Amino acid sequence: MDLSNKTAIVTGASSGIGIAFSEKLVQKGTKVYGLARRLNKLQEIQQQLGDLFIPVEMDITRANDIENWVKSQFTEDYSPDILINNAGLGTFGNVEELSIEDWDTMMNTNLNGVFYITRQVVPFMKKNPNHCHIINISSVAGLLGNPQISAYNATKFGLRGFSEALFKELRYDKIKVSTMFPGSIATHFFGDDKEANTHPNMMQPGDVADTLIHLLETPDNILINEVTLRPLNPKNPDNQ
Ligand SMILES: NC(=O)c1ccc[n+]([C@@H]2O[C@H](COP(=O)([O-])OP(=O)(O)OC[C@H]3O[C@@H](n4cnc5c(N)ncnc54)[C@H](OP(=O)(O)O)[C@@H]3O)[C@@H](O)[C@H]2O)c1
């Protein structure tokens, strides 16, 4: 896909890799609707990226709000070309300590929210004369289960199944579906105090975004449906 003059929706655009995805897309000339709950953060990003970045205050766990926004924004003649399902969060701990509220929040954000927005966007993509692309951000936790992250694992494994089914369902509609499975990235995912919770051997958001751009720019009849990204050496240099 030639990214200039295309239209993208990026969920979770107020932080972390969502900012990096938005920045790289805007640099390519793509209009980006950046969705997240914190409008003030999105507005700060617009100050940096300019008017090709459009802040949209949205909680992706609210199906009705998503339906209203998508239907008010897009028409038969104006469809999104790209959907990046990136918004997500993780709460970790032993299963008996994990609250039902935390389980529900992860399911509603990481899995249900992806369904809510994808089911609204796909009908517009089907009418789009261009090839379209949906990229879902899973995690290595969508490939490997591990202690203390069971609920997060469940959401990211679920997202893998959803993505694989969609890739097979939508390929003949000229809609690509890809899933990214990143390891540790230096973002606010691990807590508000990014300096304290990340280390230099984690992947950088901009490097992960370069891979996203590569997936999008593949020729129309090439689909990279899954890609795993890892830090080569994942250990904190202070603890080696
Ligand atoms: N960092 C890692 O090591 C890593 C590794 C593998 C996969 N991932 C995945 O990468 C994605 C992005 O994470 P990140 O590392 O960039 O973390 P982050 O810096 O914490 O960003 C998370 C983003 O999700 C948004 N979000 C959360 N709940 C939302 C909701 N209900 N509605 C709308 N937006 C919501 C947040 O925006 P608001 O708070 O403003 O709503 C924020 O923009 C997640 O799906 C995560 O699971 C991260």
pLDDT of 81 > 90? The answer is: yes
Give the list of residues 6+ apart from residue 127 with CB closer than 8 angstroms, or none: 76, 79
**pLDDT above 90 for 100:** yes
- In this predicted structure, the answer to whether residue 165 has a pLDDT above a threshold of 90 is yes
Pocket test for ligand 1, best of 84, 89, 115, 192 (most atoms within 8 A of CB): 89
Question: What is the rounded end-to-end Cα distance, in angstroms, of the chain?
Answer: 42
Average pLDDT over residues 60-71: 98
- Rounded to whole angstroms, the Cα distance separating 82 from 7 reads 6
Residue-wise pLDDT for 175-218, tens only, equals: 999 999 999 999 999 998 888 889 999 999 999 999 999 999 99
Mean pLDDT of 166-175: 98
Q: Which residues are identified as catalytic? A: 152
**pTM assigned to the model:** 0.98
Residues with CB under 6 A from ligand 1: 11-18, 35-38, 41, 58-61, 86-90, 109, 137, 139, 182, 184-185, 187-189
Query: Which atom, in ligand 1's list, is nearest to the CA of 140?
Result: 6
Amino acid 195: pLDDT: 82
Question: Could you tell me which residues come within 8 angstroms of residue 138 by beta carbon, excluding any fewer than 6 positions away?
Answer: 156, 159, 160, 163, 179, 180, 181
Q: Mean pLDDT across the chain, nearest whole number?
A: 97
For residue 69, how far is its CA from the centre of ligand 1 (angstroms)?
Answer: 20
Q: Where does the pLDDT of residue 89 fall: very low under 50, low under 70, confident under 90, or very high at 90 and above?
A: very high
Q: How many CB atoms lie within 10 A of CB 225?
A: 15
Give the model confidence (pLDDT) of 41-57 as tens digits.
999 999 999 999 999 99
Q: Determine how β-strand 175-182 pairs with β-strand 226-229.
A: parallel
Q: Where are the domains of the chain?
A: 7-239
The superfamily in CATH containing domain 7-239 is NAD(P)-binding Rossmann-like Domain (3.40.50.720)
Q: How far is the CA of 122 from the centre of ligand 1 (A)?
A: 22
**CA of 76 relative to ligand 1 center, distance in Å:** 31
Is the pLDDT at 240 greater than 70? The verdict is: no
Which numbered atom of ligand 1 lies nearest the CA of 141? 6
pLDDT for 129 beyond 80: yes
Q: State how far the Cα of 186 lies from the Cα of 222, in Å rounded to an integer.
A: 30
Tens-digit pLDDT profile for residues 216-239: 999 999 999 999 999 999 999 988
CA of 189 relative to ligand 1 center, distance in Å: 6
Closest ligand 1 atom, residue 109 Cα: 31
Of all residues in the chain, what percent carry a pLDDT higher than 70? 100
